Chains A and B, each alone.
Chain A
Amino acid sequence: MGTFLGIDYPTWWFLVVGALFSGYAILDGFDLGAGALHLFFRKEESRRIALNAIGPVWDGNEVWLVIGGGALFAGFPVVYASLFSAMYMPFMLFLCMLILRAVSIEFRSKEPMLWWRRTWDVVYSVSSIMLAFLLGVVLGNVLKGVALGADFTLQGHWLQFLSPYPLMVGITTVALFAMHGAIYLALKTQGRLFTRVSLLMRKSMIFFMVSFGIVTLYTLLYIPHLTDNFKQSPTLFIVPLAALLSIANVPRLASKGRYMYAFLFSSLTVALLLVLVAIELYPVLVFSSVSEQYSLTIYNSASSTKSLGIMLLMAAIGAPLVAAYTLFVFWTFRGKVKLDDSSY
């Protein structure tokens, strides 16, 4: 097995996939959050500004999902195959919601009629909420364990993805993204809309903290295998601690009106929560609830060393490029939203 800097290739690729999904969660997270809050804005002008706040960037943000999915397929084909076929329904719904969100953003501004715009507003908001929720449901199943049996194929009924823990993780994800999106909107709005946004921001922070508290408690009480890694190396406790501090810092900075820093810290929160997930899992990728031998780990599901080596090289060349033009686009559209003749 190849190693680089003393770390084996599957672990490197685990980090790459983790980084891509974190990037997706941070970036599309605020789009989904803004979408989740969309119906709380009443005026047409407010909704247009809120939509145009994510207008130039949402599509680029969604790319992270495409790349993350590709990276999972490439690096851990067995996880890709087993998890996606086991979670057939959530993924199919997710795809539909993804399409509906994209078309609602595109189509909303194309007609002036009130019913047209109201309809797409509802589709946009509901699909954003559902996307965040379904992502959380899948994550919850991955953490709790999926009934993978022989050949890493799902056993039993396909409806078993619906159980309390995944649903709670789903709700928490909606809350996290709502908070994250509200802070993003605060950066992008002004005047009365801004006042409305900051009110929503406070509410969504409370919503997130309550739901996060419940999920944490449930995890500690009922899902013991997730804490194994922490018990083995207690220094890792620094991560949940950092996550808690980061969470606490978000409302502190927001209340001082330092929204840029609040946004950076809510991004950091999203990232740290995913690091937490990564530590809880490693080296497992999907726990099997049937038997430990059927759990998918980064070793029994990885591509060959050769393949991982090629792709790590690609990632090393590609990542700076992607980062460069992502920054360029954000720089071009920095500042408060201005509607012009090319807006949605």
Chain B
Amino acid sequence: MDVEILSRIQFAFTVAFHYIYPPLSIGLGLVMVAMEGMYLYTHQLVYKQMARFWTRIFALTFGIGVATGIVMEFEFGTNWATYSRYVGDVFGSALAAEGIFAFALESGFLGVLLFGWNRVSPRMHFLATLGVWLGSMFSAVWIVVANSWQQTPAGYHIVGEGLQARAEITDFWAMVFNPSSVDRLLHVWIGAFLAGAFLVLSVHAWYLLHNRYVELSQKAFRIALAVAAVSALAQLFTGHHSAEGVAHNQPAKLAALEGHFDSLAVADMYLLGWVDKKREQTYGLKVPGGLSFLLHQDFKTPVRGLRAFPANERPGAVNTIFQFYHLMVAIGMFLIALTLYAVWQWWRGRLFSQYWLLWVFVWSVILPQLANQAGWFAAEMGRQPWVVYGLLRTSDALSKAVTANQVWFSLIMFTLIYALLFALFLYLLNKKIQHGPDELLQEGHRPLQEGISDWWVGKKKY
């Protein structure tokens, strides 16, 4: 394998692994803000108890998220040097803004969130949790802005020729609000809310099925269900908006998403299907003219297909892109049905009496994760063969100084470390869930542990 494919595999692998965690942090952050808000509002200790429980799980996901995130930042320079030189002037300011305005906020207050329960007032602690959550939201802003600029470049001009060419920023706000950034940001945020909310739903459904922490779990389940139901519905609209944007800005990608080949014809929408790239045919269960209708509110309006583009400007893995995209859409629809049904049962007062429904929630934790991954794979593979759409090809973006052997080495190293990391993550997540929320004394202190360190020090005062 050559350096290009190895570097692409390494980047895809490290970023896909990384992306398990940030959505959990963003989504759990929102749920924790809601829990602590309820604690401040009602003064019921049970809300503090669940917030503390979820803080411990948040710490786990956040820690792995940070550790695997730095890898992404450095890989731009190590593996994609030509790309870094090309986009640095534009991309850099988004990345710098992420660091200064978002990540520092997030990590700064994390210490108070995790270790400050006994050191600051509940109100201050709530503000720290809010700070961490907002920090993670802002992080998403800048990262999605940078990625959207790669999809739909704006606010730049090209300086230099050939290998020396690079993009220079001309209008910061045009770069930030490039044609796809707002739609994609909302889509990413809500995908993250779903990931976090479904983890909370899964764990508390499991407790309820095992008759543990019943009162706490019912309260937590309702908070998370409210977040999940609103998010699942909202995702339909942001997804639709994104698709319209793709149709307008990246027509070749849209054609790949639906396996639409004819250069200008009525486009169908597939529920399930298979793309035969050689014969340029798509088979499956379809709504005739469905894509035309979704984009133009008319079943007869033609849409440009893959054949309208030169062969070297079409995404390569059309069937893979098609499958990822349809997996994401199918999961999205299922999540809407599931959460609406659950809300209906809640309204009827029968939410917690239907075991099968709780079991569905236990296993559904995997679904938003799959949808998030599938959506990103469809978006990024659909952008190919470009790394910056229409400007810079992925094959031109590599580091010239790096050899295939070096990338093999780092790829194997990351695979081993991430496998270990993932095993530990699952093990510890399971352990924390089995352990469950701690009973809280009114002051929130546990004298036994302080006693141990006092005993060692041999005196009582600090």
Contact = CB atoms under 8 A, between A and B. Distances in A.
A89 interface: yes
Given A99-B68, A106-B60, A307 B100 contact: no
Given A84-B81, A95-B74, A89 B406 contact: yes
Given A77-B84, A99-B417, A310 B109 contact: no
A56 B111 CA distance: 5
B233 interface: no
Given A80-B88, A88-B406, A311-B92, A98 B70 contact: yes
A70 B99 contact: yes
Nearest to A63: B107
B76 interface: yes
Contacts of A326: 108
Interface stretch (B215-223, B311-319, B361-369, B443-451): B443-451
A338 B462 contact: yes
A315 B399 CA distance: 29
Nearest to B405: A158
Interface stretch (B115-123, B246-254, B302-310, B382-390): B115-123
A62 B107 contact: yes
B73 A310 contact: no
A103 B424 contact: yes
A94 B98 CA distance: 22
Given A78-B88, A310-B169, A66 B73 contact: yes
B450 A340 contact: yes
Interface in A48-82: 49, 55-57, 59-60, 62-63, 65-67, 69-71, 73-78, 80-82
Contacts of B107: 59-60, 62-63
B302 to A, nearest CB: 42
B446 A70 contact: no
Contacts of B1: none
A102 interface: yes
B63 A318 contact: no
A239 interface: no
Interface stretch (B280-288, B320-328, B453-461): B453-461
Contacts of B449: 339-341, 343
Contact of A191 (B172, B428, B458): B458
A96 B88 contact: no
Given A107-B424, A310-B169, A322-B100, A57 B111 contact: yes
A100 interface: yes
Interface in B71-120: 71, 73-74, 76-82, 84-85, 87-93, 95-101, 103-105, 107-112, 114-120
25 contacts: A56-B112, A60-B108, A63-B103, A67-B99, A69-B74, A70-B92, A73-B88, A73-B91, A73-B95, A77-B88, A81-B81, A86-B401, A94-B74, A106-B63, A107-B424, A304-B159, A306-B169, A307-B92, A318-B100, A318-B101, A329-B108, A333-B111, A340-B445, A340-B446, A343-B115
Contacts of A56: 111-112, 114-116
A340 B118 contact: yes
Interface residues of B, number: 85
B96 A85 contact: no
Nearest to A158: B406
B14 to A, nearest CB: 9
B161 interface: no
Interface string B421-440: 10010001001000000100
B355 to A, nearest CB: 32
Nearest to B10: A92
A63 B421 CA distance: 21
A315 B92 CA distance: 13
Contacts of A322: 100, 104, 108
Interface string B390-421: 00000000011111001001100110010001
B354 interface: no
B104 A67 contact: yes
Contacts of B96: 67, 70-71, 73-75, 311, 314-315
B170 interface: yes
Interface residues of A, number: 78
A70 B457 contact: no
Contacts of A65: 70
Interface in A309-344: 310-311, 314-315, 317-319, 321-322, 325-326, 328-329, 332-333, 335-336, 338-343
A83 interface: yes
B403 A158 contact: yes
Nearest to A48: B453
Contacts of A151: 163, 400
Contacts of B182: none
Given A81-B81, A102-B67, A333-B111, A92 B413 contact: yes
Given A74-B92, A102-B63, A318 B104 contact: yes
B104 A63 contact: yes
A85 B93 contact: no
Contacts of B456: 45, 191
B79 A85 contact: yes
Please give me the 5 A-B residue pairs with the lowest Cβ-Cβ distance, nearest first: A77-B88, A74-B92, A84-B77, A318-B100, A85-B399
Interface of A: 45, 49, 55-57, 59-60, 62-63, 65-67, 69-71, 73-78, 80-89, 91-92, 94-96, 98-100, 102-103, 105-107, 110, 151, 153-154, 158, 190-191, 303-304, 306-307, 310-311, 314-315, 317-319, 321-322, 325-326, 328-329, 332-333, 335-336, 338-343
B169 A315 contact: no
B189 to A, nearest CB: 21
B70 A66 contact: yes
Interface string B200-236: 0000000000000000000000000000000000000
A342 B117 contact: yes
Contacts of B166: 77
With most chain B CB atoms within 10 A of its CB, the pick from A74, A95, A103, A336 is A95
Contacts of B438: 341
Given A80-B84, A191-B458, A340-B446, A154 B401 contact: yes
A59 to B, nearest CB: 5
B98 A91 contact: no
Contacts of A328: 108, 112
B64 interface: yes
A153 B81 CA distance: 9
B104 A59 contact: no
B452 A339 contact: yes
Contacts of B120: 332
B264 interface: no
A310 B172 contact: yes
Contacts of B97: 314
Contacts of B103: 63, 66-67
A67 B100 contact: yes
B417 A96 contact: yes
